[in-house]
Amino acid sequence: MRLRIATRGSKLSLIQTNIIMDMIRRVEPDIDFELVIVKTTGDVIQDKPLYSIGVKGIFEKEVNMAVLRGEADIAVHSLKDLPSEISPGLVLAGFSPRDPPYDVLVVKDGQNADLTSLPSHARVGTSSVRRRAFLLSIRRDLNIDVIRGNVDTRIRKLLSGDYDAVILAEAGLVRLMSEVKDLPIKYSRLPLDLIPPAPGQGIVVAVARESDTGIIDLLRKASDSRARIEALSERAFLKTVGGGCHMPVGGVAMVNNDELTFIAGIASLDGGRKVVVKVNGSAQDPEGTGVRAARELLSRWSRT
């Protein structure tokens, strides 16, 4: 069997594609893969914040189009990059084991990787409206500046002195560090109830055409069951709050045996208002738990 995989060409995207390929090989050892590299608008435009480009699902849509056009059989994404609704005719079919969902504060080696230790007016880089809003809710004195580029590019900008610190997804950073050794950096996790992560953060997914039942069955057989439950819950949350990747909302589901705990938060753009909620539910009803978390969050937000 031969499987064509559409992906972006960045170092991290290729690492994530290898995660999906290894996942599939465990259930289909004799499969052959062909990579279809797609250069997206988000890869081309590096001098503007993501929210100002005006393309919804900026890293997702063009990669998925390769599948819809029949140029590839599946597309690989970081789940956090997908909007609440993907292109018609496609389904989320494969879910990798989840890497840590946390955001992390990254500094040069030798410095203190602690949010409270950053000097006043320190320049912190992030391209995420969510991260900016929650950071300002904690430290109004920080200068939060837009940083673009792939994870390795952002690390280079930190090391060159353009920023005092950057905020990244731990999952992407750890994946990069597995390939690029001895980066002179330090990082620390930001607590989930302090800065709730983007829904889907830490999970790599494979998207397939809904008509390709054989490929869907293969991907589902290869998927991590725990990550799938958490992903379904977080996708239901995202759809209910009505937010994409440019809304200052975060949410994460965590499976513990048959229980599901959901932490969610929302903050105003200037960090002046913030609400964080924690909802418990059943792992047998992940979507229902995600919906309840979203409704509780919006209800509390409307009363603040």
Lowest mean per-residue pLDDT among 10-14, 54-58, 143-147, 198-202: 54-58
CATH of the domain at 130: 3.40.190.10
pLDDT band at 44 (very low <50, low <70, confident <90, very high): very low
Assess if residue 283 is contained within a domain: no
Report percent pLDDT > 70 for the chain.
Answer: 92
Assess if residue 242 is contained within a domain: no
pLDDT band at 45 (very low <50, low <70, confident <90, very high): very low
292 is catalytic: no
DSSP code at position 40: -
φ, ψ for residue 41, nearest 5 deg: -60, -40
175 is catalytic: no
pLDDT of residue 182: 87
Assess if residue 160 is contained within a domain: yes
Report percent pLDDT > 90 for the chain.
Answer: 84
130 is catalytic: yes
Catalytic residue among 8, 61, 98, 131: 131
Domain of residue 157, residue span? 103-190
Assess if residue 285 is contained within a domain: no
Assess if residue 135 is contained within a domain: yes
Q: How far apart are CA 235 and CA 69, in angstroms?
A: 25
Two structure tokens written together for 243: 């937010």
How many folded domains does the chain comprise? 1
| Residue 112 vs residues 3, 126, 142, 154: alpha-carbon distances, Å | 45, 19, 16, 19
With 0-12 / 13-18 / 19 or more C-beta atoms within 10 angstroms meaning exposed / middle / buried, residue 97 is middle
What's the mean pLDDT in 76-105?
95
With 0-12 / 13-18 / 19 or more C-beta atoms within 10 angstroms meaning exposed / middle / buried, residue 302 is exposed
| Cβ atoms of 166 and 113 closer than 8 Å | no
Catalytic residue among 4, 108, 148, 189: 148
Catalytic residue among 130, 132, 175, 209: 130
Q: How many residues does the chain have?
A: 304
pLDDT band at 42 (very low <50, low <70, confident <90, very high): low
Could you report the per-residue pLDDT of 248-271, keeping only the tens digit for each?
999 999 999 999 999 999 999 999
pLDDT band at 47 (very low <50, low <70, confident <90, very high): very low
Closest CA to 245 of 3, 61, 89: 61
Closest CA to 229 of 278, 285, 295: 285
80 is catalytic: yes
Assess if residue 138 is contained within a domain: yes
132 is catalytic: no
Assess if residue 96 is contained within a domain: no
Burial 246-274 (b: 16+ CB within 10 A, else e): bbbbbbbbbbeeeebbbbbbbbeeebeeb
Q: Is the per-residue pLDDT at 243 higher than 90? A: no
Assess if residue 148 is contained within a domain: yes
Could you report the per-residue pLDDT of 101-156, keeping only the tens digit for each?
999 999 999 999 999 999 999 999 998 999 999 999 999 999 999 998 889 999 99
Q: What is the pTM of this model?
A: 0.91
Task: Please give the torsion angle defined by the CA atoms of residues 16, 83, 91 and 293, in that order, rounded to the nearest 10 degrees.
Answer: 100
Could you report the per-residue pLDDT of 153-179, keeping only the tens digit for each?
999 999 999 999 999 999 999 999 988
Catalytic residue among 8, 61, 98, 154: 154
Q: What is the DSSP string of 108-154?
A: ETTS---GGGSPTT-EEE---HHHHHHHHHH-TTSEEE---S-HHHH
Q: Measured between alpha carbons, how far apart are the two ends of the chain, in Å? A: 56
What's the mean pLDDT in 173-195?
93
What's the mean pLDDT in 214-227?
98
26 is catalytic: no
| Cβ atoms of 113 and 187 closer than 8 Å | yes
Catalytic residue among 73, 81, 99, 103: 81
273 is catalytic: no
